[in-house]
Chains A and B, each alone.
Chain A
Amino acid sequence: EIVLTQSPGTLSLSPGERATLSCRASQSVSSSYLAWYQQKPGQAPRLLIYGASSRATGIPDRFSGSGSGTDFTLTISRLEPEDFAVYYCQQYGSSPWSPMWTFGQGTKVEIK
């Protein structure tokens, strides 16, 4: 089982600042199979990035994903008030119907 470790646990920033979130995998993940989600309190998660770097439909271009192998990054170029939330990375199987999808433990982006 691939374990995803996100850092930092909490990121305290001000609106307008740049946020850089890290996701490290315990073994290599195909870049095609790494996603990022945003979750606000009381809401379901929302897909932001899939395939490590492709933005999902309707996601603003201030969100970008990068990385390969075991190290992946979500960058929010300029934080808007609505961006303060918890962010999760996820890896999914690299072969058809690989039986595991796993999430990182999350990074909370809070207002400084």
Chain B
Amino acid sequence: NIVMTQSPKSMSISVGDRVTMNCKASQNVGNNIAWYQQKPGQSPKLLIYYASNRYTGVPDRFTGGGYGTDFTLTINSVQAEDAAFYYCQRIYNSPTFGGGTKLELK
């Protein structure tokens, strides 16, 4: 089974900063990665699919990258409303999520 490992587990960022979080797959998954945002008390929301495609309505400050085993989610000029957990997911059969990265605002 493919294991998805996210780092760091948490990060504290100031509004306006740029932040990058990581997701590593235990095997080559090509570009078959999605990213989700989950705010406290809410359902997850799809942000990025196929590693770098922004989902409908997602602000362009969110950018996904990577291929194979190493992936990134970058948020340019972080806003207060971006405080959330972020999860990567290997898509296709037997989908697997990473453990998540908690983004806090200073």
Q: Do these two chains really belong together in a complex? A: no
A residues bordering B, Cβ < 8 Å?
Answer: none
